[in-house]
Amino acid sequence: MADTRENFGSRFAAIAALAGSAIGLGNIWRFPYMVGENGGAAFILIYIAASLLLSVPIFFAEFIIGRRSGANCFGAMSRLAPGSKWNLLGILCILTPTLILSYYAVVGGWSISYLLKSFTLAFPSFGSFSSSGWAVAAFVIYLALSCLIVAGGVKKGIETFSKVSIPLLFILIVGLAIYSVTLKGGSEGIDYMLKPDWGKVSARTFVNAIGQSFYSISLGMGIIITYASYISKKENIVFSGVGTAGFDLFFAVLAGFVIMPAVFAAGIEPGSGPGLIFDTLPYIFVSMSEASPILATIVAVSFFLTVTIAALTSSVSLVEVPVAWLIEEKTMKRGSATLFVFAVTGIIGAMCALNLGIFDWLDKLCCNILLPIGGILCVIFVGWVMKKDDVRDEFTSGGSGSARLFGFSYFLLKYLAPLAVAVIFLSNFF
């Protein structure tokens, strides 16, 4: 018999869980560099517009599918489009996060390892560490921790973790940002992030903003569908969507204030990706220790604790998608379902940890192909297949709110959002 279905207990719990799924490593290692290289504040303004006009409507589509059905991704499509090929979208939305979790947890393992190393500032060479046996062991520990949280259930596991981790994340990132912007030479990093440079803005800038916004708030991977199915019909969908995007952007900007002033203060060329977190910043922390070892240790521990928690909030949501499917469609107990997901992703992830070529291949498959396909199918389904009255009923929570915004949001969802996702998809090949 399947476990009794749970729901989030409050609006804060729902927003914290949704924000946790959005806030992740991309906010830390990609967004700040992208801002600086694409016009600073000019890019942020374009990013905000892309989020509100394109990504949030896609969020609405996935939210509507999940809450309307009250089921996991596969069950949602079976209920909303019984006997149709739309079940394939449900399968895709289960497969994609399972694959992403497999390699994302490898990076989570790196984060845990560097968190432990930060207490002594004895950081290993990232190149040699990333494919070592220790990296595999750290991956298994990180994946087990993610699965353990999900095994606790929606309320006692995911909700409790989200309500604690999200406030803690913002406390840590604000504290680190205050320290970083006061560093000598750090003002150049602030200029890099915030000084508007419209000369750097091109057509590619708009594509980058749309793509970053799409990937950052967990679209196209079944997470919003699954989490929305745990949210009360009374909750305002606009508040949930804008709130999730807002928290995600705020954290990303704060991460930029942490990283870029420190990078410029150290006289290092800014970069992005794993090398920024696991090579550049450890070098900065070790350099800091020459003048103030205690302060350097505190900053390093705080930073890698932030990275680890940010990674965990995302991986927990990735675990929940296939677990919900196993519970509801295969009538497995939550503990057994979580153990099964741990085993499957553990095997795939171990291969990624030992062979970064497999890691890169899976990353490109998911980000360049599976996620955009999932996103565009969701907006097509809600905009062109579901009855407009049903969409309106869900959007307005049964007529109790957001009715004035429905017409405009529905237009964006039906016409502009599919085009935006198509642009993201095609841009990956040019």
pLDDT of residue 428: 83
Give DSSP secondary structure letters for 329-356. HS---HHHHHHHHHHHHHHHHHHHHH-H
User: Which two tokens mark 147?
Assistant: 């699965």
Q: Is the pLDDT of residue 119 over 60?
A: yes
**Do the domain assignments include residue 4?**
no
How many other β-carbons are positioned within 10 Å of the β-carbon of residue 267? Answer: 10
**What is the per-residue pLDDT across 202-231, written as a single tens digit (0 to 9) for each?**
988 999 899 899 999 999 999 999 999 999
Confidence band (pLDDT; 50, 70, 90) for 2?
A: very low
Residue closest to 227 by CA, chosen among 236, 216, 238, 218: 218
**Do the domain assignments include residue 284?**
yes
3-class SS string, 237-265? HHHHHHHHHHHHHHHHHHHHHHHHHHHHH
CB within 8 Å of 395: residues ≥ 6 apart: 60, 64, 237, 402, 406, 409, 410
Asked if residues 41 and 192 have their Cβ atoms less than 8 Å apart, the reply is no
**Do the domain assignments include residue 83?**
yes
**How large a percentage of the chain has pLDDT more than 90?**
79
Which residue range(s) make up the domain with 133?
Answer: 11-427
**What is the per-residue pLDDT across 30-50, written as a single tens digit (0 to 9) for each?**
898 888 888 889 999 999 999
Rounded distance between C-alpha atoms, residue 264 and residue 157, angstroms: 40
Helical spans, DSSP H, in 266-292 = 274-275, 281-289
CB within 8 Å of 85: residues ≥ 6 apart: none
**Do the domain assignments include residue 239?**
yes
Kindly state the helix (H) or strand (E) to which residue 395 belongs, with its residue range.
helix 388-395
Asked if residues 60 and 237 have their Cβ atoms less than 8 Å apart, the reply is yes
User: Which two tokens mark 273?
Assistant: 């990706």
Domains contained in the chain, number: 1
Say what angle helices 203-216 and 41-50 make with each other, to 10 degrees. Answer: 60
**Do the domain assignments include residue 5?**
no
Q: What is the CATH number of the domain that holds 148?
A: 1.10.4160.10
pTM of the model: 0.94
Rounded distance between C-alpha atoms, residue 46 and residue 28, angstroms: 19
**Do the domain assignments include residue 206?**
yes
How many other β-carbons are positioned within 10 Å of the β-carbon of residue 162? Answer: 26
Q: Is the pLDDT of residue 1 over 50?
A: no
**Do the domain assignments include residue 256?**
yes
**Do the domain assignments include residue 3?**
no
